[in-house]
Amino acid sequence: MTSAEQIIADESKYYLPVFARYQVVLERGEGPYVYDIEGKKYLDFLGGIAVNILGHAHPKVVDAVAAQAGKLIHVSNLYYTAEQTKLAKTLVELTGLDRAFICNSGAEANEGAIKLARKYGKTIAADKVEIITAEHSFHGRTLATLTATGQPKYQKGYEPLPGGFSYVPFGDLEALKKAVSAKTCAVMLEPIQGEGGVHIPDPGYLKGAKELCEKHGALLILDEIQSGMGRTGKLLAWQHTGVKPDIMTLAKGLGGGVPIGAIMATEKAAKAFGPGDHGTTFGGNPLACAAANATLSVLVEEDLPANAAKMGAYMMEALNGLKAKYPALITGVRGQGLIIGIQLTKPGKDFVNACMAAGALINCTAGDVLRFVPPLNIEKKHVDEMMAILDKVFAADAM
C-alpha cells in the first residue's frame, strides 16, 4: 500500500497547486465517520462541505449507484432516461418550482441560472442584463460565478471579468433598493451565506428583495447550493420565509456525494430558454440521477430536515455553553438547523488542525469562523462527541 507520506508527496508533484490541504489521506467512511489510510477514525462534521447529507456509504445510495452502474452509467441528453425524468419530477414536486435542469456542480448550476436570467431580461429589453449580488457571497469558481461572488479575493488575477455585475451589502434592503433598476435582470442571493461565514439575514430581507424584483421586473435567484437539501431544518432555506424564488440552484447535498447540480425555474423564467440555448454532456446522466433519487427518497422518508432542525438546536445550545465558558475566544454562535458557525476572536486554522488531531473534521471559513455542516442524519451522541472534542481543544488554547 502506498503510504500517506508518498501520496502527499506525489500530490504536490502532480496536482495543480490550488488546494491548501490538511495533511491526511482519507480512505473510507461509514455514517458520520471517515477513516484515513492508517486506520485513524474521524467524526466528520464537515461532510465534504455540506455534501454528504446522509453520511458516508449510506446503503441506499450505495445500492442505487451500484445497480445503476451495472445498467447504464451515461447516455447523451439527446435521449430520455427514466432516472433523469424522475429526478426532475421529484424536484419540481418538492420545491414548488416548475422546471428542472440537471448539471454537474454548483458553479455550473449558477452559471446556467445567470444565463437564463440574461435571456429572460432580453425578452423585456435589450439592456436588461444587470445582475446584483451580495458582498461576501459565494457562487462558484467559473468566470461568471466568481464575478457574481462578492469577494475580491476570488476574482483577483482573472480580469477581465464578465461585465454586468454589481454588489450590495448582504441583508441591507435600503442598499438593494438603491441598486435595483429597470436594467436589472436578476438579484442573486444565498438565503444564508455559507462560505462568507454563516450569515443569516433578518427575516424580512428575502421578502423585501422579492418585492423589489417584482417592482422592477427582475428575477430573484436564490442559491440554495449550501443551504438547501434539508440543511436548515426545511428542505430549502427560503421555505422559512415563504419567499419563492424565480430561479433556484441546488448542488452539494443533492447527490449524496455524487457530483450533481440543478437549476430550478418557474415557468415564467424557464420560458426564456428554448432548444439549443443551454446544454451539458454529463449533466443529468443516469448514474448521478440515480444517486440523487436515492438520496431524496431517504431525505423524505426519514424526514431529515426535521432531524436537522432538532440536532441543530441541540448543537447550538451546546455551543452557546462553550461560548459562555470561553468568552475571550468565542464571540458568536450563528446557525439554522445544521449549518452552524462560531465566531472566534482569532484565526480558526489552528483549531481545525487541533480538532483533526483529536479525531474530528471541521473547517474554518472567512478566516475566523469555525463551520459545522455535518450529515443531516446525525444523532445526539455525535453532537456530544463533537462538543467534547471542541471543549478539549478550546481548553488547551485557553491554558
Q: Please list the active-site residues.
A: 138, 223, 252
Closest contact distance (angstroms) between CB of 351 and ligand PLP is 21
- Which is nearer to ligand PLP, 251 or 352 (by Cβ)? 251
Give the 3-state secondary structure of residue 346: coil
Residue 2 annotated as part of some ligand binding site:
no
Closest contact distance (angstroms) between CB of 249 and ligand PLP is 7
Cell of 208: 423585501
Are 53 and 46 a contacting pair, CB within 8 Å?
no
The number of angstroms, rounded, from the C-alpha of 345 to the middle of its chain's C-alpha atoms is 25
- Which is nearer to ligand PLP, 53 or 330 (by Cβ)? 53
Q: Give 276: exposed, middle or buried? Use CB within 10 Å, 0-12, 13-18, 19+.
A: exposed
Closest contact distance (angstroms) between CB of 136 and ligand PLP is 11
- Which is nearer to ligand PLP, 101 or 394 (by Cβ)? 101
Distance CA 132, CA 188 (A): 6
Closest contact distance (angstroms) between CB of 242 and ligand PLP is 21
Residue 138 annotated as part of some ligand binding site:
yes
Query: Residues in the site for ligand PLP, rule: CB under 6 A?
Result: 105-107, 110, 138-140, 190, 194-195, 223, 225-226, 251-252
Residue 106 annotated as part of some ligand binding site:
yes
Show contacts of 322-328: CB within 8 Å, 24+ apart: 322/387, 322/390, 322/391, 322/394, 325/391, 325/394, 326/394, 326/398, 328/398
**For residue 227, which of 196, 194, 183 has the smallest C-alpha distance?**
194
Distance CA 80, CA 82 (A): 7
Distance CA 383, CA 380 (A): 5
23: left (phi over 0), alpha (psi -120 to 50) or beta: beta
Closest contact distance (angstroms) between CB of 30 and ligand PLP is 24
Residue 336 annotated as part of some ligand binding site:
no
- Which is nearer to ligand PLP, 222 or 269 (by Cβ)? 222
Residue 101 annotated as part of some ligand binding site:
no
- Which is nearer to ligand PLP, 168 or 389 (by Cβ)? 168
Closest contact distance (angstroms) between CB of 325 and ligand PLP is 30
Distance CA 321, CA 308 (A): 20
Other C-beta atoms closer than 10 Å to the C-beta of 277 total 11
- DSSP sequence for 165-183: EEEE-TT-HHHHHHH--TT
Residue 44 annotated as part of some ligand binding site:
no
| Residue nearest to ligand PLP as judged by C-beta position | 106
Annotated binding residues for N(2)-acetyl-L-ornithine, written as ranges, equal 141, 280
Binding-site residue ranges for pyridoxal 5'-phosphate: 106-107, 138, 223-226, 281
